Chains A and B, each alone.
Chain A
Amino acid sequence: MLGLVLVYLLFFFVLIGAVNEESAPFFGIVFLIAGLLINLAIKKEMSIYLSQLLFIMSIVGYVLLGIFFLEQQWDAKALLMMVVATFYLIFHKQYIHKFIAFYIFIGTSIFVFAQLGGVEDYLMVLLIVMSILSTYLWLKESAFKTKNHSEIRSVVKYASTTIFLLLAIYKSFDETMIMNTGRLISDLSLWLISTGLFLIISYVTVQIESHLKIAWYHFISLGLLSVLLLVAVLFYQTPALIAAIIVLIIGIERGSKILVPLAVVTLIFSLIKYYYFLEITLMQKSFLLMASGGVLLLASFIVMKQGGRSHD
């Protein structure tokens, strides 16, 4: 405990030494490189807190460099940030910093596209890429290898899944944008996203069915795919709903206590968004909600009966 406070104090006084106009860029480079190198050298058993401080040391180094060295060169700053983030993603020992690094990397790339123009198209591509990446990483990691997985793989699969869901939620509000601006291009992008997500959910479903020894042409499989197609078409303006279903299925398959709640929250949110933005009266909404609820309850009743019959 005393050691940690001493390290903290030492760091503080070193920083004070750096505070003058002439030496700031120099200390910036020194902090950045020292932080990166020390992080390479530290062992897993090392104190969490010291590791945090080293991470921050590099970030402070980056800030110093950004402010005093690169000035208005935003593209160079973004590039440097992406390099630092990549380094931390690969080499840092703590997964929480790997997360931060992954988010910094993605955030910086969005910033770059915002500077160049065409950020909306980039977000659409990013959504599809993240959905494919997270699905691949989750499904290709068989359960009996979980103890052996690498940290980076684990971080990327969680981070890409959350970014995938966040982008899907963001894109779900494009419909309002279309209504306000009359832009047809966004409608097209929503159809493209919906098609992409339907292909992914179909792949996930078929993969799981193959684990359960159900052929893709079996009537259960075809029926399930038809329902998913119907959902993809009906809710094409709310990609968050399809994204939530994908993550929910993967979460159940992998037995993840993080993915399932995350997917359920997104699912509820996307349903609220869908019904809230429907341009019908409250009365019609109530009938639609009751009808949807009735259909789902009927489906659950059928599933229950099927289960009872198979047990018999």
Chain B
Amino acid sequence: MEASSEKAFYSLEIIPDKPMWRQWLLTILASMGSGLLLVGVVFFFAFNWEDMHRFSRFALLGSGVLITTLIAFRLGVEGLAGQLALTATAVFTGVLLATFGMVYQTGADSYKFFASWAVLILPWVLVSRFQVLWLIAAVVANLAVITWADIYLHVDTFNPNIDVIMLITINGLILLLREMTTLIHPNGQTGRWFPRLVGFALVAIVTTAMLEMITEHFYFSSTLGFYIAVLGSLALFYYMKRDLFIIFLVLGSLILVGTVKLVDTLHLSISDLVIFIFLVGTFIAATVAAAVHLLLKLSKQWANEEAAHVATQQVKQDALAESTKEDEGLTNNKVYRAPWYIDGFAALGAWISACLFVVFFCSNWCS
């Protein structure tokens, strides 16, 4: 009886069988091998070995770019090997540009190096369908903006001026490109961590700018405009795309900004600590409760609709449940579980409220 259940789970790929283990081993060995090799190459050229002629360095790196590109297109960018080869091409391109700058002491600003690197690898990124390569390109593009702002603006990176607008634009563009490639190749894209990471970056940039505006007591309509535009676009787009995590980020940002604004306003107008803490605590509790309520509602609704869409898989699983129910005591009743970040969000809100109570309590006690 148990053997039949185990066989069924092997067929559903719940327990990995030999080919799956081989695939995992291959993925880990190839990823780690490529990673270590590329870091080794970067270290080698960073060492700036005097005994090696500059032409030899260029030849080595140029060959690296050429060979890895050929390998990528020979193997195809759908598989891991091709994607890793294309990542190597992107890294070699950066090292080649850096070596060029080192050998000829071009005196070019660092932002030009990062910008050139980002532009040159863009075509490979677009065709790669590989999230790690997207991440490399996003980091390089952001570094180009930050180093440019560092040289020309001579102000803090998150000043709500041109640098914030540029960071929003560049990350928004990256996110848009990524989602467009997902639409073009829906089957070639796996995992959602990269769009979520960029979404987090976007929310973090506009939230930081807003918080700075509130705490420093200056007003920029552009900052407020960008805050509303970015959060609104993200919420709308990912509501249609059904990515709850980004909606959670948007709500979290709204609550954070609202709380800081409330604290800032009350701090100036209310001198009584009890009422101050009461209002702030109530605001946090009410807004977090409302946000959790909304997120749970959406989560359940989408989970139900998705379950209806994957009817064929469901039938397969139901058949399995029937076959194993007798042996293992399983039931067909599925218990809904909220995503971890909703639980964490609710807990965090409650903990902050409780901390406010403790602070209030201690301050009252001491006085």
Contacts and interface: CB of A to CB of B under 8 A. Distances in A.
Given A95-B343, A289-B40, A297-B34, 7 more contacts: A48-B292, A212-B18, A252-B16, A255-B15, A286-B41, A290-B40, A296-B32
A107 interface: no
A258 to B, nearest CB: 8
A299 B29 contact: yes
Interface in A55-104: 55-56, 59-60, 63, 94-97, 100
Contact of A12 (B26, B349, B350, B357): B357
3 nearest CB pairs, A to B: A293-B37, A296-B33, A289-B40
Interface of A: 1, 4-5, 8-9, 12, 15-16, 18-19, 21, 24, 48-49, 52-53, 55-56, 59-60, 63, 94-97, 100, 142-145, 147-148, 208, 211-212, 248, 252-253, 255, 267, 271, 281-283, 285-300, 303-304, 306-307
Contacts of B292: 48-49
B9 interface: yes
Interface of B: 5-6, 9, 13-19, 21-26, 28-30, 32-44, 46-47, 49, 274, 278, 281-282, 285-286, 289-290, 292-293, 324, 327-331, 338, 343-344, 346-347, 349-351, 353-354, 357-358, 361, 364-365
Contact of A19 (B21, B22, B364): B364
Contacts of A16: 274
Tell me what chain A mostly uses at the interface: helix, strand, loop, or mixed: helix
B361 A306 contact: no
A255 B14 contact: yes
Contacts, number: 171
Contacts of B329: 148
Contacts of A95: 343
B44 A296 contact: no
Contacts of B30: 296-297, 300
Contact of B350 (A21, A56, A212): A56
Nearest to B331: A147
21 contacts: A8-B286, A19-B361, A24-B365, A49-B289, A49-B292, A52-B350, A55-B350, A97-B347, A142-B6, A145-B328, A212-B21, A255-B13, A283-B47, A286-B41, A286-B42, A289-B43, A290-B37, A290-B40, A293-B32, A299-B29, A307-B19
